[in-house]
Amino acid sequence: MPINIQEILNETQGKNFDIFEKHINPVFTKVLRLIGFNRSWVRGEGSYLWDKSGTRYLDFLANWGVFNVGRRHPTIRNALQQVLDSDFPGWVGFDAPPLAAVLARELTKRTPGNLDTVYFCNSGTEAIEAAIKFARASTGRSCSVHLTKAFHGLTTGALSLNGEASFRRGFEPLLSGNFAVEPGDLDALEARLSKGDVACFVFEPIQGKGVNILSNEYLLSAQNLCRKYKTLMICDEIQSGMGRSGQFLACQWIEGLHPDIICLSKALSGGYVPLGATITRREIYNSVYDSMDRAIVHACTFGMGNLAMAAGLSALTVLDDENLLARSNETGERFRKGIEKMVPRFEFLKGVRQRGMMIGIEFGKPDSISLKAAWAMVNKIDENLFAQAVVIPLLDDHHILTQVAGHAVPIVKILPPLNIKDSDVDWFLNALEDVMVKLHKFPGPAWEVLMKIGNHALTIKQRENSSTTT
Ligand SMILES: Cc1ncc(COP(=O)(O)O)c(C=O)c1O
């Protein structure tokens, strides 16, 4: 008997948090309840989500940058439907799947330098794992250098390159021989590379944490150093790629920057099927698969599946058909101008970091005495709290999903689909304006909600501290 998915969804509507809490992750549900993200979603389309009451939301979280072409895109669905309806076999295992070959060819056409070879996997972190292994095999070295505040995934190898101690805590020791340097600090980079044991320098051209746009000068100088000391450059485009930055890849904003390995995932899947890719040069790839008995020495069972490959091919088509690189730049600029116009009017609002549709809104210490006291008070409780004071009312009062851009950074990040309407931009800008007006009234109702959450966070923190000290 076929199962009735809609029936399961109907039956669990409104109860999903309870069931999830019982059988999956109760700590996560606690966080979601605290910040008001405990909604029951019933529908998603384009840049919108609907909850069970029929309320429409603007999804600028986009599953951390997966939905560059929006949800339920007809072109992606059509390609997937064709695969489902076809009797063409996937995952034969001992095979050279044609859709994978074509997607690899299409990807290498769009990447800078002479990258001509692709390894496919199922997630961002796996794409990074492959890149680390490829760099080690190709250079015969084992060390790597990453940047502070970096995020490259959470499997053990990728976690070794994480620039945030809180992610690594409890799982160490990880891979040995990983070193962090500050973005911009070329002396520190050279000091480490000059030891001659570094296989790879791994970076996000725009760091997801804080939307930190690395400068052209820094990355070109880092490339010179990597060439000088024979270290491979691994460019993590998992969040910034697929048109997010207004170029196909964010590294393409920098003329002459030619990474040796580029990792893609998230939006590459078109939003339905997990997919990751590690794109490199033939000689690097061949250093891994260097003999017949090592022909699949790095592989994964579910790599190169027909659904994932069709999703990837159709996602590339949508980028072209809808002219999404240009739209990403135009719409991103609309956001930037709108936010910049507000900066002089709101003391907490400090500026905007934007490239295409990767956008960080910066907050900081105000000038007036009463607001300064409010700022000091929330930051004393929790350094994440102020940004939550923006995220929570954007959701509660204006039905917009956004996120805090990492631990202890007063930055709210938005990653809207690249094909949103101008009216969606206006929806967001009007909402941000309203949230700012309310937060600049201290004391006031916006601060009361914040203090309630802050006290709760404080209790959790105290409990954690006491459990780590006993
Ligand atoms: C820049 C970057 N690299 C790697 C990853 C890891 O990707 P995944 O969650 O698919 O493993 C992420 C995920 O957020 C990311 O933003």
Q: Which helix (H) or strand (E) holds 233?
A: strand 232-236
CA-proximal residue: ligand 1, atom 6 (nearest): 153
- Residue 454, pLDDT > 80, answer no
pLDDT at site 317: 98
Q: Which helix (H) or strand (E) holds 110?
A: helix 98-110
Q: Are 223 and 230 in contact (CB under 8 A)?
A: no
Q: What percent of the chain has pLDDT over 90?
A: 89
Q: For residue 214, which of 194, 249, 184 has the smallest C-alpha distance?
A: 184
pLDDT at site 153: 98
| Rounded Cα distance, 264 and 374, in Å | 41
Q: Which of 149, 152, 159, 262 to mutate to test the pocket of ligand 1 (most atoms within 8 A of CB)?
A: 152
Average pLDDT over residues 354-382: 93
pLDDT at site 447: 84
- Which of 466 and 142 is assigned the larger pLDDT? 142
**Closest atom of ligand 1 to CA, residue 64:** 14
Give residue 40 CA to ligand 1 midpoint distance, Å: 25
pLDDT at site 235: 99
Give residue 249 CA to ligand 1 midpoint distance, Å: 15
CA-proximal residue: ligand 1, atom 3 (nearest): 152
Range in 49-58, 135-144, 189-198, 402-411 with the lowest mean pLDDT: 402-411
173-182 pLDDT, tens per residue? Answer: 999 999 999 9
The partner residues of 236 in beta bridges, in order of sequence, read 263
- Residue 355, pLDDT > 80, answer yes
Q: Are 121 and 276 in contact (CB under 8 A)?
A: yes
Confidence of residue 22 (pLDDT cuts 50, 70, 90): very high
270-314 pLDDT, tens per residue? Answer: 999 999 999 999 999 999 999 999 999 999 999 999 999 999 999
The torsion angle over the Cα atoms of residues 68, 72, 75 and 79, rounded to 10 degrees, is: 110
- Residue 460, pLDDT > 70, answer no
Range in 244-253, 290-299, 363-372 with the lowest mean pLDDT: 363-372
DSSP 3-state assignment of 437?
helix
Q: What residues flank ligand 1, with Cβ below 6 Å?
A: 64, 123-125, 128, 151-153, 204, 208, 236, 238-239, 265
23-74 pLDDT, tens per residue? Answer: 999 999 999 998 899 999 999 999 999 999 999 999 999 999 999 999 999 9
**Closest atom of ligand 1 to CA, residue 265:** 10
pLDDT at site 469: 33
In degrees, to the nearest 5, what angle opens at C-alpha 159 toward C-alphas 153 and 164?
Answer: 95
| Rounded Cα distance, 392 and 386, in Å | 10
Range in 223-227, 311-315, 455-459 with the lowest mean pLDDT: 455-459
Confidence of residue 408 (pLDDT cuts 50, 70, 90): confident
pLDDT at site 457: 64
Beta strands at 198-203 and 143-147: parallel, antiparallel or unpaired: parallel
Which stretches of 95-251 are DSSP H helices? 98-110, 124-139, 156-160, 165-168, 186-193, 216-228
| Rounded Cα distance, 267 and 378, in Å | 35
- Residue 468, pLDDT > 50, answer no
**Closest atom of ligand 1 to CA, residue 237:** 1
Confidence of residue 442 (pLDDT cuts 50, 70, 90): confident
First to last CA, the chain: 54
Residue 123: half-sphere exposure toward Cβ, Cα within 13 Å = 10
Give residue 235 CA to ligand 1 midpoint distance, Å: 12
Provide DSSP, 128-146.
Answer: HHHHHHHHHHHHS--EEEE
Give residue 401 CA to ligand 1 midpoint distance, Å: 19
Q: Which DSSP state fits 280?
A: E
Confidence of residue 409 (pLDDT cuts 50, 70, 90): confident
Q: Which of 155, 238, 249, 407 to mutate to test the pocket of ligand 1 (most atoms within 8 A of CB)?
A: 238
Structural domains of the chain in order of their starting residue, each with its CATH number? 35-69+324-469 (3.90.1150.10), 74-321 (3.40.640.10)
Q: Which of 202, 239, 262, 300 to mutate to test the pocket of ligand 1 (most atoms within 8 A of CB)?
A: 239
| Rounded Cα distance, 303 and 21, in Å | 31
Q: Are 130 and 121 in contact (CB under 8 A)?
A: yes
Average pLDDT over residues 75-103: 98
pLDDT at site 192: 98
Average pLDDT over residues 85-106: 97
pLDDT at site 458: 57
pLDDT at site 467: 37
Q: Which of 67, 122, 126, 151 to mutate to test the pocket of ligand 1 (most atoms within 8 A of CB)?
A: 151
- Residue 372, pLDDT > 90, answer yes
Residue-wise burial string across 199-234, b where 16 or more C-beta atoms lie within 10 A, e elsewhere: bbbbbbbbbbbbbbbbeeebbeebbebbeebebbbb
Q: For the chain, how big is the Rg over CA atoms in Å?
A: 23
By CB neighbour count within 10 A (0-12 exposed, 13-18 middle, 19+ buried), where does 25 fall? exposed
